[in-house]
Structure 1
């Protein structure tokens, strides 16, 4: 069954539902017949019970003859007729009702009763037997009409219960068994289908969690089996592809790290000898030589900064540098950090505004060194892109579990491309925002990496007032 196609399994399930419900219904009907025969005449009268009583009643009517026309004969007649399931009327020779259990006539036309004598005819939803009353010398002074139904009736009070049980069982059995068969066989079918589907869902979750070391232990020669096999092949191919990419990435990182290390020493030497030449009071330099030396020094410093950033990123990505939380007063921490930029801000005629909300003088614990590095990168970037006379707005919110920062400047807004790529490695930004400096596009990538290590997030956006904003937060470490 497991190896059959889904279409075949559905068809077999439907056949099993129909056949099993039919067999169960037939078994119930057979049990009902056995029970009916067992209860017959004890608790339940069969459909022809009252009809079978007619010969005894007719014999009594023949023996009584015309005496039945007298009202005093009613009591003795009703002892013979089972009134719980049979009605009767006594008619005179003119067809008029003398007495009986019902008043509504069974024959409508005058003289019709004579034509109906010794016959059984339908009337008012019942079968009526016309029994003649034979008088002296064969006269016909009247008749007795006996009305009954051909249906199962209770013999006593408990008989009604058993009739109801049999009726409900016979009527409900096909529906009940059909529903039960649907529940049983569809559950079995769903179990066969759900098992591989659950395995596929779990496999997808494993891939989502970046775990490819698992096996799909389902084998079947049908659509689900082939789907699981294809999924397993896809997983193996993805594993090979990711391993190749990981290996290439590791090689790239190793190469960059080695290159950065190799460049660090010669750049330090170049910078050291350049400074020695610039500040050597005994060396006589022409204006051109002095300008060339300054250019060499500036580019050596830029290259040295880039090498340090590359080494720092390599350290972040490889070693996963651990946190070193310390108690920090946010107010003092922010004021001290901004004091480092007062000179540069004044030289560029840039106003720095600060707002601190929350308990700024209550110690909170976090890695102050990492947060300082984040602030250095963001504020330096803001100073670089804020025009003279502009403003940098720094807002800090101290919350019970985190500290949030918002740093906005009145420089050029971020473009759509900037917002999509700003935190990518080596992204230098749109031309309008990348004309100054000569940075390598690693500052905000470092900000993102550090923020993630501190248990927070960072985002860039343009405010409604037209400012370019960087907002980030980091978690507060419990004691």
Structure 2
């Protein structure tokens, strides 16, 4: 009941992106109009309280002093309103007095003679007829500040009003844009949270809801995908578990007949046998030993699949390499193989964060395989390097190398590379086990044939512990 009520409440306050966009446009328009009207009102108050002078104030002031200008015995420029300039001419148009620039004086005369000769390019003119001459006054029809300092240093009052409107609308636009962007960002968080959890394969969570209709549709689709992916992973996990249980059962069941066969072979060896029977018994015992080795390897591989965890510790790379070298020498002595180990550049301070036991098993699987395929009396080359916080190990044998098919499939379960190596005395598990262990250490294993000798070349790269961060 509670979940149903919550969903109903979300549905009630759910909006579409179109509604939100329309709300943004309407809010921007309404607030812009309000701010513009407010600025107009403030400017209106400025006129009322005398901070600004109306555009037609000059004409009104000129009308008020017209009689004084035309009838006074001596023309006094001080009676002219602020914001005006004048030229005082004789009746034959000779200059008597002026505070106008020369070009404006000429324009004033033209305007007097030809009435609005150049339109309003130079502003407006009024002429006053006196007995001793003509006074022509120039002025602009635009609002002005009452304070002269403001007229000199501030923009024109009209420009100030338009500029104030533009700035206010720009500020409103920025604030609204940030507000709605933040609002959408908050509504996007559930989607980002879901995608992050799915990418981490954390599928046991409840999908939250948004107040935006389109976002909820995306969340619904992601939730369906989460459920489907979870079911698929569970099915795969169950299939993997079933397979591992079958392998465990198989390896367990094989131990009993192997024990019986080994015991019978040992009893048979104690009897009197001719040369042919002895030879057959020897092959029989080798076959039993080989099958026993396969069962043990298969059991180890299954245990690794069941438990994908490592017991990590700080392992000195130099010490680890020396141990590998000692084990390789012991293996190589059985076939009089000459082991060349290039390991001089391993510094004592190089530390790996490894499972030493598992990693030793992986590398010795590689080395053992190389010893098997290296002809007696030939050379086995091992190289260990530290390159850019990585441990690099290379094993190069003197055998026939990998076939093209082997290069692609040698690390697959039970693959036997019988085309180039000419042998089936292995289960195909050695490289598989080694590759799984290397991958658990976030490393890589690659196979190749040496360009010079043609021998099989196995390269292992493992990350080292960054001692600066530890």
Normalising by the smaller structure, the TM-score range is: 0.7 to 0.9
- Structure 1 residue 31 and structure 2 residue 39: aligned? no
| Aligned-pair Cα RMSD in Å | 3.8
Q: What is aligned with 2:278? A: 290
Q: Give the alignment of 1:68-217 within 5 angstroms.
A: 73=74, 77-82=76-81, 84-102=82-100, 104-106=105-107, 108=109, 125-134=122-131, 142-157=133-148, 159-160=150-151, 164=155, 167=158, 169-217=160-208
Q: What is aligned with 2:340? A: 353
SS in 2 for 1:406: strand
Q: Give the alignment of 1:230-379 within 5 angstroms.
A: 230-277=221-268, 279-280=269-270, 282-285=271-274, 287=276, 289-319=277-307, 320=309, 322=311, 329-330=319-320, 332-346=322-336, 350-358=337-345, 369-379=357-367
SS in 2 for 1:128: strand
Q: What is aligned with 1:138? A: none
Cα distance in 2 for residues equivalent to 1:245 and 1:132? 108
Q: Deviations over 1:41-99 (max 9, x none)?
A: xx4322222222223432223433xx4xxxxx35xx123224x4222233333333333
Q: Check the 8 A contact 1:121/1:129 in 2, yes or no.
A: no
Q: Deviations over 1:98-130 (max 9, x none)?
A: 333335235557xx95897xx999676132222
Q: Check the 8 A contact 1:329/1:364 in 2, yes or no.
A: no
SS in 2 for 1:342: helix
Residue 413 (structure 1) shift? 4.3
Q: What is aligned with 1:57? A: 65
SS in 2 for 1:85: coil
Q: Check the 8 A contact 1:45/1:155 in 2, yes or no.
A: yes
SS in 2 for 1:345: coil
Cα distance in 1 for residues equivalent to 2:313 and 2:155? 82
Q: Check the 8 A contact 1:120/1:127 in 2, yes or no.
A: no
**Structure 1's 251 and 92: CA in aligned 2 closer, same or farther, altered over 3 A?**
same
Moved more, 462-471 or 439-448: 462-471
Q: Check the 8 A contact 2:55/2:143 in 1, yes or no.
A: yes
SS in 1 for 2:419: helix
Q: Check the 8 A contact 2:390/2:463 in 1, yes or no.
A: yes
Q: Check the 8 A contact 1:330/1:363 in 2, yes or no.
A: no
Residue 21 (structure 1) shift? 1.9
Q: Check the 8 A contact 1:426/1:440 in 2, yes or no.
A: yes
Residue 369 (structure 1) shift? 4.0
**Structure 1's 142 and 121: CA in aligned 2 closer, same or farther, altered over 3 A?**
farther
Q: Check the 8 A contact 2:373/2:399 in 1, yes or no.
A: yes
Q: What is aligned with 2:15? A: 4
**Structure 1's 268 and 228: CA in aligned 2 closer, same or farther, altered over 3 A?**
same
**Structure 1's 360 and 223: CA in aligned 2 closer, same or farther, altered over 3 A?**
closer
- Structure 1 residue 445 and structure 2 residue 432: aligned? yes
SS in 2 for 1:240: helix
Cα distance in 1 for residues equivalent to 2:414 and 2:312? 26
SS in 2 for 1:428: coil
- Structure 1 residue 422 and structure 2 residue 410: aligned? yes
Residue 298 (structure 1) shift? 2.3
- Unmatched tracts of structure 2, length 5 or more: 1-11
Question: Which of 216, 219, 226 is the equivalent residue of 1:225?
Answer: 216
**Structure 1's 335 and 86: CA in aligned 2 closer, same or farther, altered over 3 A?**
closer
Q: What is aligned with 2:55? A: 47
Cα distance in 2 for residues equivalent to 1:192 and 1:247? 43
Residue 214 (structure 1) shift? 1.4
SS in 2 for 1:53: helix
Residue 11 (structure 1) shift? 3.7
SS in 2 for 1:90: strand
**Structure 1's 200 and 296: CA in aligned 2 closer, same or farther, altered over 3 A?**
farther
Residue 228 (structure 1) shift? 0.7
Moved more, 265-274 or 393-402: 393-402
Cα distance in 1 for residues equivalent to 2:240 and 2:229? 16
Q: How many residues align?
A: 449
Cα distance in 2 for residues equivalent to 1:426 and 1:310? 9
Cα distance in 2 for residues equivalent to 1:296 and 1:57? 137
**Structure 1's 324 and 130: CA in aligned 2 closer, same or farther, altered over 3 A?**
closer
**Structure 1's 270 and 98: CA in aligned 2 closer, same or farther, altered over 3 A?**
same
Residue 166 (structure 1) shift? 5.1
Q: Check the 8 A contact 1:120/1:128 in 2, yes or no.
A: no
Residue 217 (structure 1) shift? 0.3
Moved more, 141-150 or 298-307: 141-150
